[in-house]
Amino acid sequence: DVKVTQSSRYLVKRTGEKVFLECVQDMDHENMFWYRQDPGLGLRLIYFSYDVKMKEKGDIPEGYSVSREKKERFSLILESASTNQTSMYLCASSLYGDYTNTEAFFGQGTRLTVV
Amino acid sequence: GESVGLHLPTLSVQEGDNSIINCAYSNSASDYFIWYKQESGKGPQFIIDIRSNMDKRQGQRVTVLLNKTVKHLSLQIAATQPGDSAVYFCAEKESSASKIIFGSGTRLSIRP
């Protein structure tokens, strides 16, 4: 089974802190994604990566950065956490070689609260 | 810009009845339309997809219908069971892109 693991289930951070959310996948997938999920807004794409050290902005990249130093690991960084970044963060991975691939595999999510 | 949205945020269905979840999309360039299911406390999970040159695709107890004329997508679940309780997301993808764009979700609840 494909497994996408997010390092924390719940996090509470203070405003202005630098926050790291970690994600690891074990299926050798090229694509990795970070989404945030808010009630009524669905899943919004923050950043994605299709290869090591490669990244592309999604729809809401402001206030976030990412790092992909190894194929299996994709980190989301909140440079200076703010209360409006309180949300559920979901990491996902998928195969890259097949452009028709529509199946992304998700982690269980990290619920981040910024106080 | 791109958007994938849903007609209804919540749907309540009697156990054993069929469920129909609707979705509108706006990106005519999308090549694939996808349904995901998210159970409480879990990440979304792929259910079924349909290519833009198709009108209908069936899976196990699920059918997806695509009407490109009115940019409408639906997911039909036959004989709805308690385990079908979840939030359902429609999503779309272009062949040339890796990213998947999600809609806002519909919560399906099952009445005993």
Cβ within 8 Å, pair B100-A102:
yes
Give the closest residue to A2 by CA, choosing from A95, A97, A101, A110: A95
- Among A112, A74, A41, A81, which residue's Cα sits nearest to residue B89? A41
Shortest distance between the Cα of B53 and any Cα of chain A, in A, equals 13
* Probe site for chain B from A51, A102, A111 (most B CB atoms < 10 A): A102
- Residues ≥6 apart with Cβ < 8 Å to B77: B18, B19, B20, B21, B61, B62, B84, B108
Helix (H) / strand (E) element for B9: namely none
Q: What is the pLDDT of residues A20-55, one digit of tens each?
A: 999 999 999 999 999 999 988 889 999 999 999 899
Per-residue model confidence as pLDDT tens digits over B60-94: 999 999 999 999 999 999 999 999 999 999 999 98
Q: Phi, psi (5° rounding) for residue A17?
A: -70, 155
A108, A10 contact by CB (below 8 A) = no
Residue A98: per-residue pLDDT: 58
Q: Does A42 contact B42 at a Cβ distance shorter than 8 Å?
A: no
3-state class (DSSP) for residue A84: helix
Cβ B97 vs Cβ B2: under 8 Å: no
